[in-house]
Amino acid sequence: MLDSLSSKTREEEKEEKEEAARRITARARMAASLQVAVASLVPPSTSSPIGRRGRGRTVAGGGGGGVRCSAIGSKGSSSKLPLPPINPKDPFLSKLASVAAASPESLLDRPVSSDTPPYLDLFESPQLMATPAQVERSVSYNEHRPRRPPPDLPSLLLHGRIVYIGMPLVPAVTELVVAELMYLQWMDPKEPIYLYINSTGTTRDDGETVGMETEGFAIYDALMQLKNEIHTVAVGAAIGHACLLLASGSKGKRFMMPHAKAMIQQPRVPSSGLMPASDVLIRAKEVITNRDTLVKLLAKHTGNSIETVATVMRRPYYMDATKAQEFGAIDKILWRGQEKIMADAAPPEQWDKNAGIKVVD
């Protein structure tokens, strides 16, 4: 009987020692996986090989001071799982080190659930929660943080259904404008398209021809094929074919800035160079055909007769916002507050009365 009791006692002691060794090994693995050296994991009197090979080092604790911790591992295990240096200023790691140093059992002795990943509840621990000041800084940053990289300016304008023509009508500009118009109609054929114009047409500001007349006609034909309502706005200059594009907007939706300029003129003949006389004659006939087409289209969109448009186009015809409205190229002048100014303005009869002018019937 005594022999059986003593054998059971020895077996229990052996199991307790094995359990203690397993706990020490588990704690060492936990410290390595969390990248935090757990303080005082190995008792000084242990005879485990792991304990004999443990080496202590100091890391930052939660209270701001250093705590004596033991980075546990053998030569073989340390080569496989090297512990990186801990950032002492990291608030989460500092708090985690404090919890591990104070009560390592809270990290090791926890129920295992197959429904949740291991140690997920650590992130909900009040001891590891961010302070109110940290939360406030995080919320303030997220409110003003850009949610995506800022787009380039043409993409931003296109997102607002704005097509901007800010250069002479050269082939590259025509290609881009036509593509944007087709894309916006494909995106939504019911929403309006806003065409902002600041272009000298097929010529430069000094009058030199830089593009063929067909460039302006290509954009015009694309506008006429759209199902969308077209809002045209002159924001600087609308010269030549650019003035045609301005006048071709939807009725009632053609606008002009108060200090913008519009001008219509006859098409210019490009430099002939060393062309033979027969080719020059062919080129001249083509220019006359383009001129007649431009006159007809301007007469159609401005409401004037073909003869009137042809007469004013004999020489460059410049128009400010008021003249362009009278000519029929635009419908409204975009002047902020103009309604209030016009309402406060006295009628002509009142001006005559104030000046002492009598109206004679």
The count of residues in the chain is: 361
Mean pLDDT of all residues belonging to the chain: 75
C-alpha span between 46 and 33 (Å, rounded):
23
C-alpha span between 62 and 95 (Å, rounded):
5
Segment 24-30 mean pLDDT? 65
pLDDT tens string 327-359? 999 999 987 765 565 556 566 667 667 767 766
- The predicted pLDDT at position 9 comes to 74
Q: Give the chain's domains with CATH numbers.
A: 15-42+50-144 (no CATH), 158-338 (3.90.226.10)
- The predicted pLDDT at position 71 comes to 43
**Dihedral angle of Cα 233, 234, 235, 240, to the nearest 10 degrees:** 150
CA distance between the termini of the chain: 145
- The predicted pLDDT at position 314 comes to 92
Q: What is the 3-state secondary structure of 3-65?
A: HHHHHHHHHHHHHHHHHHHHHHHHHHHHHHHHCCCCCCCCCCCCCCHHHHHCEEEEEECCCCC
47 has a pLDDT exceeding 80 = no
Segment 107-125 mean pLDDT? 58
C-alpha span between 263 and 244 (Å, rounded):
10
243 compared with 82, residue with greater pLDDT: 243
Segment 294-312 mean pLDDT? 95
Backbone angles phi, psi at 165, to 5 degrees: -110, 105
Q: Which amino acid is at 200?
A: T
22 has a pLDDT exceeding 80 = no
Band (254; pLDDT cuts 50, 70, 90): very high
pLDDT tens string 192-233? 999 999 999 998 888 888 888 899 999 999 999 999 999 999
Q: Locate all alpha helices (DSSP H) within 112-232, ordered by sequence.
A: 132-144, 153-159, 171-187, 213-225
- The predicted pLDDT at position 240 comes to 93
- 139 three-state secondary structure: helix
C-alpha span between 154 and 162 (Å, rounded):
9
Do 196 and 163 contact (CB within 8 A), yes or no? yes
- The predicted pLDDT at position 319 comes to 95
Please name the residue that has the structure tokens 């007349």: 213
- The predicted pLDDT at position 206 comes to 82
pLDDT tens string 73-93? 444 444 455 555 556 666 666
Do 239 and 216 contact (CB within 8 A), yes or no? no
Min mean pLDDT across 17-21, 165-169, 213-217, 257-261 is at 17-21
C-alpha span between 30 and 39 (Å, rounded):
12
68 has a pLDDT exceeding 60 = no
C-alpha span between 83 and 34 (Å, rounded):
9
Band (131; pLDDT cuts 50, 70, 90): low
Band (108; pLDDT cuts 50, 70, 90): low
129 has a pLDDT exceeding 70 = no
